C-alpha cells in the first residue's frame, strides 16, 4: 500500500441486498474466503467482464447467465479457477448447483466468481461444505466482512458508499472491490460489486455500468496485465420505491449515475493505491487529443512505460522519459510543436520545446510527492482522458518474482 489511508469507513446497507461470508479453508485456514450475495426478486443485475480470451471458468458462466434473472453471486478467493479447462467449468457448475439447491433458486440464477491462484483445481467440495455457514450469515449490514472475504493480496478491504436525496427519498449506493491482483495475476483478478436501492430498468442498468466501467475500472493500470477473471457487477434492488429509471433524461437518473460513478472511481482508485510494491499514485491526463482513443493511447503509453515508472519510483524528475513515451505513442495525429507537458502544475515541455521556466529543483519537488499528475496537452483536438497508475519498484519485482516460492 502506498497512499490513501486504508481505513474502512462504514458502508451503508442497501435495502434488499444481503451479503454473507464463511471460512471454507480454500487455500488458507482461518480466513474468510467465501462470500455469497443475494437480492430480492425483481432487482436488475448488470455486469462487465474481462476481455481476456483466456477467461476463467466462472467468467464464462457468469457472462452466460447474466440474462437469466440472477439471484446470487457466489465468490471465492484463494483459487481463480482459471487455466483449468473443462474440469474447471464442471467444478464451477457444481458449486452453483449446490447453492441453488440450498437456496431454492434455479442453477442458472447463480453467478460464480473466483480469485486466487491460476491453474490449480477448484476445491468445489470445500466451497459446498461452507455454503450453509455463508447463507446463515446473510444480512444487509455485512459489507465489511464481504470486503474482507474477497481479498487476496490486498492489504486492506476496499469499500465505498454514498447517499443522496431526491424528492424526499434517500438513495444509497454502496460497493466493495479487490485488486492488487492486477499486478499479481497468480492471485488473479479485479472484482467489484456495487448495489443500490434505486429501481433501474435492466437494460439501462447495463448501459450505465458499461459507461461507468470505462470511467473507473477501465482507467486503472498497474502493469497492463489484464487478468483472466476481472468482473464488475452492479445490482439495483428497487427497494427505494421509485419508478424504474430507464433513461438519462431525469434528475434522478443524473444524480444516480453520478453517484454510482463516484463510488466506482473511489473503488478503482483504491485498487491502485493498494497496488503492491507501489509507492506513488500517479494520474496521467491527456488533453487536446483528436479522439478519446488517441488520448488513451498516449496516456497508457506513459502509464505502462517501465522507464517512466522507475523514474517515478526514484522520485527522479526525468522528463526525457515522459517526452520519449509521448513521442512513441501509437496515434495517427501528433504535432510535436503543439505538445506541452506538465508535472502537476510545473511545465516541463511547452509547444514541443523544453520549458524555459523548468528547473531540476522544481521538478524534484513535484517528484517527491506521493500523488503526482502527469498532464499532456496534444493541442490537436478536444478529447480528454485520464488513467491512474503506480510507479515500478524493487518491491514489485520481489513480489512477482518471489511469489509461488
Residues annotated as catalytic (active site), given as ranges:
189
C-alpha–C-alpha distance, residues 187 and 246, integer Å: 38
CB of 351 to its own copies, least distance (A): 10
CB of 154 to its own copies, least distance (A): 17
CB of 402 to its own copies, least distance (A): 7
Query: Dihedral (C-alpha) 17, 21, 24, 25: value to the nearest 10 degrees?
Result: 130
SS3 80: coil
Burial degree of 357 (CB within 10 A; 0-12, 13-18, 19+): exposed
The residue (of 91 and 235) whose beta carbon lies closer to its own copies is 91
Task: Sheet with 371-377: list strands edge to edge.
Answer: 353-354, 346-350, 340-343, 371-377, 281-289, 383-390
Residue 299 φ then ψ, to 5°? -60, -45
**Contacts of residue 78, Cβ cutoff 8 Å, sequence gap at least 6:** 26, 27, 28, 33, 115, 116, 117, 152
CB of 397 to its own copies, least distance (A): 5
DSSP letter for 205, please.
Answer: H
Q: Which element (helix H / strand E) includes 135?
A: helix 124-136
Nearest to 225 by CA among 44, 47, 396: 396
Cell numbers linked to 251: 434528475
Task: Sheet with 158-166: list strands edge to edge.
Answer: 44-49, 231-236, 191-196, 169-178, 158-166
The residue (of 82 and 366) whose beta carbon lies closer to its own copies is 82
The residue (of 263 and 308) whose beta carbon lies closer to its own copies is 308
Interaction site with its own copies (CB under 8 A): 51-55, 82-86, 118-119, 183-186, 188, 223-228, 304-307, 310-311, 313-314, 316, 318-321, 323-328, 334, 336, 349, 352-354, 392-394, 396-398, 400-404
The residue (of 319 and 388) whose beta carbon lies closer to its own copies is 319
The residue (of 323 and 372) whose beta carbon lies closer to its own copies is 323
The residue (of 34 and 311) whose beta carbon lies closer to its own copies is 311
Which residues, in sequence order, are bridge partners of residue 173?
A: 162, 196
The residue (of 116 and 175) whose beta carbon lies closer to its own copies is 116
CA-to-CA separations, 45 to 82, 102, 386, in angstroms, rounded? 24, 21, 28
Supply angle C-alpha 201, 204, 208, rounded to 5.
130
C-alpha–C-alpha distance, residues 124 and 88, integer Å: 9
CB of 398 to its own copies, least distance (A): 7
CB of 286 to its own copies, least distance (A): 14
CB of 354 to its own copies, least distance (A): 6
DSSP letter for 284, please.
Answer: E
SS3 402: helix
Cell numbers linked to 101: 439447491
Q: Cα 255 to the chain's mean position, in Å?
A: 22
The residue (of 38 and 393) whose beta carbon lies closer to its own copies is 393
**Contacts of residue 51, Cβ cutoff 8 Å, sequence gap at least 6:** 226
CB of 170 to its own copies, least distance (A): 41
Which residues, in sequence order, are bridge partners of residue 45?
A: 235
Instruction: Give the pairing type, strands 346-350 and 340-343.
Output: antiparallel
Amino acid at each position: 500500500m502506498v497512499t490513501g489511508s486504508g481505513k474502512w469507513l462504514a458502508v451503508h446497507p442497501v435495502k434488499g441486498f444481503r451479503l454473507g461470508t464463511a471460512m471454507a479453508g480454500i487455500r488458507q485456514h482461518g480466513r474468510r474466503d467465501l462470500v455469497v450475495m443475494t437480492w430480492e426478486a425483481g432487482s436488475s443485475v448488470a455486469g462487465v467482464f474481462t476481455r481476456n480470451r483466456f477467461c476463467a471458468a466462472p467468467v464464462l458462466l457468469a457472462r452466460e447467465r447474466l440474462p437469466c434473472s440472477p439471484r446470487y453471486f457466489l465468490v471465492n478467493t484463494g483459487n481463480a479457477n482459471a487455466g483449468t479447462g473443462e474440469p474447471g467449468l464442471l467444478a464451477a457448475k457444481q458449486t452453483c448447483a449446490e447453492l441453488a439447491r440450498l437456496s431454492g433458486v434455479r442453477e442458472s440464477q447463480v453467478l460464480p466468481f473466483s480469485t486466487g491462484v491460476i491453474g490449480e483445481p477448484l476445491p468445489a467440495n470445500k466451497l459446498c461444505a461452507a455454503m450453509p455457514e455463508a447463507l446463515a450469515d446473510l444480512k444487509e449490514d455485512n459489507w465489511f466482512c464481504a470486503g474482507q472475504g474477497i481479498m487476496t493480496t490486498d492489504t486492506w478491504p476496499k469499500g465505498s458508499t454514498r447517499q443522496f436525496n431526491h424528492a424526499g427519498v434517500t438513495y444509497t449506493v454502496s460497493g466493495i472491490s479487490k485488486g492488487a491482483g492486477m499486478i499479481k495475476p497468480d492471485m488473479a483478478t479485479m472484482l467489484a460489486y456495487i448495489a443500490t436501492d434505486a429501481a433501474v430498468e435492466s437494460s439501462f442498468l447495463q448501459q450505465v455500468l458499461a459507461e461507468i466501467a470505462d470511467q473507473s475500472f477501465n482507467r486503472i493500470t498497474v502493469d497492463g496485465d489484464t487478468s483472466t477473471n476481472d468482473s464488475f457487477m452492479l445490482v439495483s434492488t428497487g427497494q427505494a420505491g421509485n419508478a424504474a429509471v430507464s433513461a438519462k433524461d431525469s434528475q434522478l437518473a443524473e444524480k444516480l449515475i453520478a453517484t454510482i460513478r463516484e463510488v466506482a472511481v473511489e473503488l478503482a482508485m483504491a485498487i491502485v493505491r493498494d497496488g503492491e510494491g507501489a509507492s506513488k499514485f500517479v494520474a496521467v491526463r491527456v488533453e487536446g487529443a483528436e479522439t478519446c482513443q488517441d488520448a488513451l493511447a498516449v496516456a497508457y503509453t506513459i502509464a505502462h512505460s517501465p522507464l517512466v515508472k522507475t523514474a517515478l519510483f526514484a522520485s527522479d524528475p526525468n522528463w526525457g522519459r515522459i517526452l520519449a513515451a509521448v513521442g512513441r505513442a501509437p496515434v495517427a495525429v501528433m504535432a510535436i510543436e503543439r505538445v506541452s507537458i506538465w508535472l502537476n502544475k510545473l511545465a516541463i515541455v511547452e509547444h514541443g520545446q523544453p520549458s524555459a521556466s523548468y528547473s531540476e529543483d522544481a521538478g524534484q519537488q513535484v517528484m517527491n510527492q506521493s500523488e503526482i499528475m502527469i498532464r499532456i496537452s496534444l493541442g490537436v483536438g478536444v478529447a480528454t482522458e485520464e488513467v491512474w497508475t503506480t510507479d515500478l519498484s524493487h518491491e514489485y519485482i520481489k513480489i512477482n518474482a518471489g511469489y509461488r516460492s
